[in-house]
Amino acid sequence: MDDPKVGASPADRITPEEVQRFCEFLYRRTGMSLTEGKRYFIDRRLQERIAATGSLSFQAYFSLLRADADHEIEHLINSFTVNETYFYREDHQLRCMTESLLGAIVSRKKPGGTVRIWSIPCSTGEEPYSIALWLMENWPKVDDYNIEIAGSDIDTRALKAAAAGIYGDRALMRLSRDVIDRYFRPVADGNHQIDEGLRNSIEFTRANLVDPRDVAQYRDFDLIFCRNVLIYFDDASRRQAAENLYDCLRPGGYICLGHSESMSRISPLFRVARFPDAIVYQRPEADNG
């Protein structure tokens, strides 16, 4: 008779109670809700992480996870979410920007006034360039205002790549042929480089979102895209980053988070604002603390 333990890894079978412990932890920490139907998927991902961390049991892994040893929470969340960056990613937020947010933002400005938008982290530039492209293609009032778009990241190599503006097919996969032809030119190795005018119009800077001194000089933003970074921070850093973002916004300014993220797990500083295309967060207009 086969010994069921021979050749079996210690976490070959994760019990339903262990899955429940894990799902409850993940929900409490991130807001991500994993349904029963995804059971097979959960088991697979958990087993991968248990093996990757060299844990001898689910319980050992769970202790490691709770203590966030070696940034395991980041690895775990990455294994449960898709993290590619590409142009027009989460375009419902870009649509929300042009359909809802900008109307409110410019209602408080004179014609010719300045709209300030920040992408942080901007990574290799897909997000700030997407904002620029989307505005030019979709906002009827784009010529009525000065639009300042800033892109910041803690990674200087990513910033260099952003400034260079060279992308492969995968990054451009959501863009129409027409948009690519008008705003990009082909360069070596089958890549495309975004238009020089666009490259020169975005301010790329290095900044650490958690350090109040670093971000003190970023003021009066009308809209901030801060997607898929806060979810990875520890408790203190999340609070601090939220306080910094609040400070960098104008009263009434908006923040967009990543699709798996919610201010409910981050900070009470912002008002929940629901629009047809997205839920975003708003710094209160009147500042009563």
Partner 1 sequence: MDDIGTPPKARVLVIDDSSLVRLYYRSTLEKAGFVVEQAINGIEAMEKVLSEPFDLVLVDVNMPRMDGFTFLRTLRTSAGDVATIPALMISTESETEDATEARAAGANFYLVKPVAENELLRHVCVLAGATL
Partner 2 sequence: MPLVKGSKSQPGGGGSAPDRAALDSPDAESRWTAARALGDDVDAVPALAAALGREDVPRVRGAIITALMRIGDPASVEAILPSMRSPDAGLRATAIEALQALPEAVAPFMARLLDDRDSDVRLLATELARNMNASQATRLLCDLIEREQHPNVCAAAIDVLTEVGTPAALPSLENCALRFASTPFLPFAISVAIARISGAEGR
In whole angstroms, the minimum distance from the beta carbon of 252 to partner 1 comes to 15
In whole angstroms, the minimum distance from the beta carbon of 188 to partner 2 comes to 26
Does 75 interact with partner 2 (rule: CB under 8 A)?
A: no
Chosen from partner 1, partner 2, none, partner binding at 149 (C-beta under 5 to 8 Å by type): partner 2
- Identify the residue among 9, 20, 156, 176 touching partner 2 (CB under 8 A): 20
Does 4 interact with partner 2 (rule: CB under 8 A)?
A: no
- Identify the residue among 31, 53, 136, 243 touching partner 1 (CB under 8 A): 31
Distance CA 74, CA 70 (A): 9
Look at strands 279-282 and 271-274 and give their pairing. antiparallel
Among the listed residues 21, 29, 39, 45, the single catalytic one is: 45
Chosen from partner 1, partner 2, none, partner binding at 197 (C-beta under 5 to 8 Å by type): partner 2
- Identify the residue among 54, 268, 276, 289 touching partner 1 (CB under 8 A): 268
In whole angstroms, the minimum distance from the beta carbon of 63 to partner 2 comes to 6
x-marked contacts with partner 2 along 186-225 as a string, rule CB under 8 A: -----------xx-xxxx-x------xxxxxxxxx-----
Q: Report the candidate in 194, 109, 115 with the shortest Cα–Cα distance to residue 150.
A: 115
In whole angstroms, the minimum distance from the beta carbon of 65 to partner 1 comes to 17
Does 260 interact with partner 1 (rule: CB under 8 A)?
A: no
In whole angstroms, the minimum distance from the beta carbon of 82 to partner 2 comes to 28
- Token code pair at residue 194: 């975004």
Does 279 interact with partner 1 (rule: CB under 8 A)?
A: yes
Does 25 interact with partner 2 (rule: CB under 8 A)?
A: yes
Chosen from partner 2, partner 1, none, partner binding at 132 (C-beta under 5 to 8 Å by type): partner 2
Q: Is 108 a catalytic residue?
A: no
To the nearest 10 degrees (0 to 180), the angle between helices 72-80 and 39-52 is 150
Does 156 interact with partner 2 (rule: CB under 8 A)?
A: no
Residue 252 zone, left/alpha/beta (φ > 0; ψ -120 to 50; rest): left
Q: Is 189 a catalytic residue?
A: no
> Residue count at the site for partner 2 (CB under 8 A)?
57
Distance CA 262, CA 162 (A): 27
Cα angle 233-46-68, degrees, rounded to a multiple of 5: 30
Binding-site ranges for partner 1 (CB under 8 A): 24, 27-28, 31, 262-268, 271-272, 274, 279
Enumerate the active-site residues.
Answer: 45, 153
Binding-site ranges for partner 2 (CB under 8 A): 13, 15-18, 20-21, 24-25, 58-59, 63, 66-67, 114, 116, 132, 135-136, 142-150, 197-198, 200-203, 205, 212-220, 234-236, 239-240, 243-244, 246-247, 267-269, 289
